[in-house]
Homo-oligomer: A and B are copies of this chain.
Amino acid sequence: MNLAVIGLGRMGSGLARNLLRGGHQVTVYNRTRSKADALVHEGATVAASPAEAARDADAAITMLADDQAVMETVLGSDGAAAGLAAGAVHISCSTISTKLARRLTDEHAARRQSYLSAPVFGRPEAAEAKKLVVVPAGPAGVVQRCQPVFDAIGRATFVAGAEPWQANAVKLCGNFMIASMIECFGEATATLRKAGVDPHLFLEAMNALFASPVMANYGGMIADDQFEPVGFALKLGLKDVRLLLETADECAAPMPVASVVRDHFLSAMALGQQDADWASVARIAARDAGL
């Protein structure tokens, strides 16, 4: 397929590279051009604007930081929507609000373009290694048409539904499952540290019980009280739980644990942890126990 990849942070660069490896034609765009140029020797063409990148694409994939970046890059002048042909698809892989996903659905429909939300689970290394879990949603025919894209970037694809925003809801709930596991591990180890128990002992027992790489990874950071290198910054974790709570509000569904997580992220922000890994939210439970 003829594809555009817009937004070349660590995630987006991984996507672009795997799409190139998969034999697709890829035009790339990034605000800071050097990251685009780095992909030229792997076969990418560099565009000067999102609109230009999207011009001849069957599908334009965006992988951007937040709602604000997506709105500017897609709906701004020289944005991807301005360049995309009628009948072509915008695939948004970014973690954005369900509200923006609904707006994008409408904006693209008004331009006779298609729109899919296709957020991904996985860290930058997973993006690089083609090990993402992809959760697309949108009209069945469009999802099917884009399957080669999902195959090229991930190890598994799960279709969330016929409305694009449903995929964003799934992504936000998935991040909540991780965030709440972090929070709970933090609460448990705070109690155990006050009981004189080494958190590493607890981690070993939990690894034997849960056998989950997610718990092994974050539990390890918490047991070590070591939150660098940063895989996912705490301020982004807070952004995601905010978006989740907005979605839950739209659905009139209370999520009390999500509220606890949000409150602890806020405390962590107040204490200056915004750029530490989001697992450092565990320090709040420790602090609340006087540690």
Contacts and interface: CB of A to CB of B under 8 A. Distances in A.
Given A192-B170, A289-B252, A184 B257 contact: yes
Contact of A201 (B160, B201, B258, B289): B160
A270 B288 contact: yes
A251 interface: yes
A205 to B, nearest CB: 5
B192 A158 contact: no
A198 B169 CA distance: 12
Interface in A177-199: 177-178, 180-181, 183-185, 187-192, 194-198
A20 interface: no
A178 to B, nearest CB: 8
A181 B249 CA distance: 21
A29 interface: no
B159 A201 contact: yes
A289 B269 CA distance: 9
Contact of A177 (B184, B196, B214, B242): B184
B174 A205 contact: yes
A195 B254 contact: no
B184 A206 contact: no
Interface residues of A, number: 78
Given A158-B201, A188-B173, A196-B163, A121 B208 contact: yes
Interface string A242-261: 10100111011111111110
A165 B257 CA distance: 28
A271 to B, nearest CB: 5
Interface of A: 98, 121, 133, 135, 155-156, 158-161, 163, 165-166, 169-170, 173-174, 176-178, 180-181, 183-185, 187-192, 194-198, 201-202, 204-206, 208-215, 242, 244, 247-249, 251-260, 262-264, 266-267, 269-272, 284-285, 288-290
Q: What are the 10 A-B residue pairs with the smallest beta carbon separation, nearest first?
A: A270-B290, A254-B263, A253-B289, A212-B212, A259-B259, A194-B251, A173-B188, A252-B270, A191-B253, A180-B184
Given A166-B195, A181-B181, 9 more contacts: A158-B204, A160-B201, A173-B191, A177-B209, A180-B257, A191-B251, A212-B215, A256-B263, A259-B262
